[in-house]
Structures are given as C-alpha cells and as structure tokens.
Amino acid sequence: MSKRTEQINELIRQELSLIIAREIEFPENIFVTITRVKTAGDLKHARILITVLPENKTGTALEILKKNYPVIQQELNDKLVMKFVPKIEFLIDETEKQAQEIEKILDELRNSH
C-alpha cells in the first residue's frame, strides 16, 4: 500500500468518524467504531470496517449505517477535496473475533499437553 493510500485511508477514517458521531443516531448503548479503511488502488471504492458493541447489535448498527448511506456519502464528498471521493461500503471487522478464536484454540492446545 502506498503512502498516499495510507494517508487517504486515515483521512477518510477520521472524517467518517466525525460524520457518524454528528449525523447518525444509534439506539442507546450501541457503540460503533471505525477500525480500518481499505481504499481500492484506483481510489474509487473504500471498505469501511467497523466494530459494534455490544456485539449482538452488529446487524442493527450496520442496517442504520446502510440506511443513512446517502447522507454519509454526501457529507464525505463535501468534506474531502479530491478529484474522486471513493464510494464507501460498511463492513463488519471480523479481525478481533478471529483473533479471539485463534487465542482460544491456542489455549486449548497448551492446556491439552
């Protein structure tokens, strides 16, 4: 990944965090965090990876973000000064969950010996 792409990813992450905090209302006790942004090499698309607490509210949070996609995308378009602002797509970041599963398997292996 190029330095420029990394900078764009971080800029998008920061701006979207502010937009979501300001514009989107989640039900009480649902917390959404943007963990990473993965922008395509041509900068036309960006995957926005999120985590949701509590984990059982992931579907609700993702549904709210997708419903509010036009507002979020427009706000991002207005904020970023770029020739093309990437079209965003929200996805659940499974990295933490996968790390926990691997850790659990490793613990089981350690304890079985």
CB 35 within 8 A of CB 53: no
pTM for the full predicted model: 0.82
Domain-wise residue ranges, the chain: 3-112
Q: Give tens-digit pLDDT for 9-49.
A: 999 999 999 999 999 999 999 999 999 999 998 999 999 99
User: CATH topology for 3-112?
Assistant: GMP Synthetase; Chain A, domain 3 (3.30.300)
Mean pLDDT of 44-64: 94
In the prediction, which pLDDT does 83 show?
Answer: 86
CA-to-CA separations, 30 to 26, 58, 60, 65, 95, in angstroms, rounded: 6, 9, 9, 13, 19
